[in-house]
Structure 1
Amino acid sequence: MPYSLLKGKKGLIFGALNDQSIAWKIAERAHEEGASIVLSNTAVAMRMGSVDELAAKCNSLVIPADATNVEDIENLMKQTMEHFGGKIDFILHSIGMSPNVRKGFTYDDLDYPNYHKTLDISAMSFHKILQVSRRLDSINEWGSIVALSYIAAQRTLYGYNDMADAKALLESIARSFGYIYGREKKIRINTVSQSPTPTTAGSGVMGFGGLLDFSERMSPLGNATAEECADYCITLFSDLTKKVTMQNLFNDGGFSSMGMSRSAMEVYNRNLDDCIDCK
């Protein structure tokens, strides 16, 4: 049920690809809560996905931009402000991709040009967006910026590969820029560490099905869905969270505070004899 939490607010959402995307769900919820939004993704991703369908549903403008390219971001920000006739109130960074994961390189045998691309696409793009936004003074005071993260930034999870490093960098950028933007403009910057979610990007992680099942068994409340992540992000864009900044916020059903659950232990015990030599 809508609560008009974002009535009159204007935002920019990066990363919506198709209706499996968390960014897609957030865009839908932002629209339901009264926000006007601009959608952006790379031209290639937009051809692969169905963002025009989302734009029609949310009455949104779509502006292609490569978030790793500073000139593209500058043009995007200027067009967005021109479209809205002024500054915006919130930004969502939902961008992540690892060529190493896609090509099957393991963490102990990374291709370094791919590694650089992972960090550039998944984390450095966040810094570029923030830096350009600050330079162009494109965000209203008490605005809110959210980037999507994952607990692999703090804990080693088999198969998450160099994306773990990217998420750790992403969260560090949120803290470092959060201080600067908060001090100068009262703008808050947070990351949301979401449960593993069956998106197009997430499903490419090695052993994703097992990871999804494990986290579901470990979490007292179960995995958070994309829709539930959208609900959480809406509160962070709203005025209800004006003093929350520089935080990595877990939306994971309690997984991040667990050591071992009864359900996960039962599965482990049933398979212990078969996996006695597994490491």
Structure 2
Amino acid sequence: MSHNLLKGKRGIVFGALNEMSIAWKVAEKAVEQGATITLSNTPMAMRMGETNALADKLKAEVIPADATIVEDLEQVFARSQEVLGGKIDFVLHSIGMSPNVRKGRDYDDLDYKFLDKTLDISAVSFHKMMQVAKKMDAIAEGGSVLALTHIAAQRTFAGYNDMADAKSLLESIGRSFGYVYGRDKGVRVNTISQSPTMTTAGAGIGGMGGFLEFAEKMSPLGNANAEECADYCIVMFSDLTRKVTMQNLFHDGGFSNMGLTIAVMDEFNANK
């Protein structure tokens, strides 16, 4: 259902890979709510995924870019302003990857070159994105920048590995850059801490199926799915949240405030 929450707004969505992606759902809903957008992903991700199909559906231009390379990001913001006809109103950072996780390295046996890549791709790219945009004055006053994160930034979850460190850094960048961007340009910066979600990236984390089931039983409202997360992102891009910045916003059905639920106790008692 469209309420035209983003009518007349221009946006960039980074990281839409396929229909499992939260970024994919965000792109669809942004256009549904009246926005015009561009899409960006790495050339390799575009070959592996279905970004071009999404672009055709939404009549959106795809701008290939490696978000860890400043020159690529400059091209994304320059081309997006050219295509969309003005400054950008919202940006989604939905980018994350850990070579250590992909290679099955344990947290106490990390490859540090892989760790450098994890941090650069999953967190430092967020800083690069905003630094480029700010220097280019590419985001309009009142604009909204979002990045997707996870509660593993605050709590230890077996199997999340060095992605937890990346998410901690991502959230810190959101706060620190949020202060500077808000002070100088009136742009708001927030992170959304989403429920465990079976995206392509999420599926690569060991024990994800069990964690999904556990989180469902721990969350009073149940796990938030990708489409529901996209709805939240749309609200955060809209003018309804124009004074919300530097926040890590939990979108997890209440999981982050729970200690123990009856459903979890019943399961443990049944297994005794």
Q: C-alpha distance in 1, partners of 2:216/2:238?
A: 29
1:112 to 2:123 alignment: no
Q: C-alpha distance in 2, partners of 1:183/1:78?
A: 23
Unmatched 5+ residue regions in structure 1? 273-279
TM-score, normalised on structure 1?
0.96
**Any residues of structure 2 matched to 1:128-277 within 5 Å, and which?**
128-272=128-272
Amino acid at match of 2:156: T
Q: C-alpha distance in 2, partners of 1:271/1:118?
A: 38
1:64 aligned residue: 64
Query: 2:67 touches 2:125 (CA, 8 Å); kept in 1?
Result: yes
Deviations 1:189-209 (A, max 9, x none): 000000000000001001000
Amino acid at match of 2:142: W
- Helix, strand or coil at the partner of 1:222: coil
Q: C-alpha distance in 2, partners of 1:265/1:222?
A: 16
Amino acid at match of 1:144: S
TM-score, normalised on structure 2?
0.99
- Helix, strand or coil at the partner of 2:199: coil
Amino acid at match of 1:207: G
Deviations 1:228-264 (A, max 9, x none): 0000000000000000000000000000000011111
- Helix, strand or coil at the partner of 1:96: coil
CA RMSD of aligned residues (A): 0.7
Q: C-alpha distance in 2, partners of 1:209/1:129?
A: 32
1:29 to 2:29 alignment: yes
Amino acid at match of 2:249: L
Q: C-alpha distance in 2, partners of 1:26/1:76?
A: 18
Amino acid at match of 1:99: P
Shift of 1:271: 3.4
Amino acid at match of 2:110: L
Q: C-alpha distance in 2, partners of 1:269/1:68?
A: 48
Shift of 1:267: 1.8
Q: C-alpha distance in 2, partners of 1:270/1:156?
A: 26
Q: C-alpha distance in 2, partners of 1:265/1:227?
A: 30
2:93 aligned residue: 93
Q: C-alpha distance in 1, partners of 2:39/2:26?
A: 11
2:9 aligned residue: 9
Q: C-alpha distance in 2, partners of 1:37/1:269?
A: 51
Shift of 1:269: 2.7
Percent of residue pairs identical:
66
Q: C-alpha distance in 1, partners of 2:217/2:251?
A: 16
Shift of 1:75: 1.2
Of stretches 81-90 and 108-117 in structure 1, the one that deviates more from structure 2 is 81-90
Amino acid at match of 1:196: P
Shift of 1:85: 2.4
1:276 aligned residue: none
Q: C-alpha distance in 1, partners of 2:220/2:164?
A: 24
- Helix, strand or coil at the partner of 1:25: helix
Amino acid at match of 1:183: R
Aligned length: 272
Amino acid at match of 1:65: A
Shift of 1:270: 3.0
1:77 aligned residue: 77
Unmatched 5+ residue regions in structure 2? none
Q: C-alpha distance in 1, partners of 2:84/2:131?
A: 20
